[in-house]
Amino acid sequence: MSNTAMLEVEGLVTGYGSTRVVHGLSLKVREGGVTALLGANGAGKTTLMKTLCGLLPVQGGALRFLGEDIGHAAADRRVLAGLVLVPEGRMVFPSLTVHENLRLGGINVRARPRWKHNVERVFDIFPRLRERSSQQAMTLSGGEQQMLAIGRGLMAEPRLMLLDEPTLGLAPVMALEIFALVRRLTSEGLTLLLAEQDVHRTLEVANHAYVVENGRVAAEGPAAEIAGDPRIRQAYLGL
């Protein structure tokens, strides 16, 4: 992980209408590796992710991606810049085929010329998706739908991928596959911001971690230090 900050969040305030969920939160995602977002359900992780990708408005503070102010940029402009969300709950298009879902993932003008190459890359990463290319997404298992959601994100050629609860609701063996995939993607140069409930495995794959509580950063540091701090483990992580 380099010292170059791809994403800088300063004093972010956001939420849903008049209901504020994130209160002055600041963090940095450095290029390379995995930055982890940890915290209980309702801590504000998903709200933060939605704001980073442009699905919720910034109510206060600043967002910078690759040195550019993106606080008021439209969601599609953020994707074009390389900031891509794989949302909680997968959110694939159920009536479309696997192949059609992937095509939609690569629709931005930067990635579109290489969509065939990128589909092959996704199929190399997820051979099961190749086998199910013509099936409707609704016929896939939960684990296969998560593969498709990540594959669709990769089609956009992200510089930074936001992974929101990728193992939620998955069988343990499939969850292990997702963490193995995280390692593979980072070894290939992708930067990840990972929000995840499996604290143990997340800290094993992460370089740096932020613990979020009530919409604020309660603790942060190298993942190994967070994992080894008994005060943080007990107070915030339930370990």
The answer to whether 138 and 94 are in contact (CB under 8 A) is yes
Q: Which residues pair with 36 in a beta bridge?
A: 194, 209
The bridge status of strand 60-65 relative to strand 68-69 is antiparallel
Contacts of 236 (CB under 8 A, 6+ apart): 38, 39, 211, 213, 218, 219
What's the token pair of residue 164?
A: 């929101």
Query: In the chain, at which residue ranges do the beta strands (DSSP E only) sit?
Result: 5-16, 19-30, 34-38, 60-65, 68-69, 83-86, 160-164, 191-195, 208-213, 216-222
Determine the pLDDT at residue 46.
94
Predicted TM-score (pTM) of this structure = 0.92
Contacts of 200 (CB under 8 A, 6+ apart): 239
Round to whole Å and give the CA distance between 111 and 120. Answer: 14
List the one residue out of 198, 210, 200, 186 whose CA is nearest residue 49: 210
Determine the pLDDT at residue 41.
85
The answer to whether 48 and 125 are in contact (CB under 8 A) is no
Round to whole Å and give the CA distance between 56 and 70. Answer: 13
Confirm or reject CATH 3.40.190.80 for domain 1-79+159-165+191-239, answering yes or no.
Answer: no
Give residue limits of the domains in the chain: 1-79+159-165+191-239, 83-157
Determine the pLDDT at residue 230.
85
pLDDT in tens, the chain (239 residues): 667 899 999 999 999 989 999 999 999 999 999 999 999 888 899 999 999 999 999 999 999 999 999 999 999 999 999 999 999 888 999 999 999 999 999 999 999 999 999 999 999 999 999 999 999 999 999 999 999 999 999 999 999 999 999 999 889 999 999 999 999 999 999 999 999 988 989 999 999 999 999 999 999 999 999 988 888 877 767 66
Could you give the 3-state DSSP secondary structure of residue 7? strand
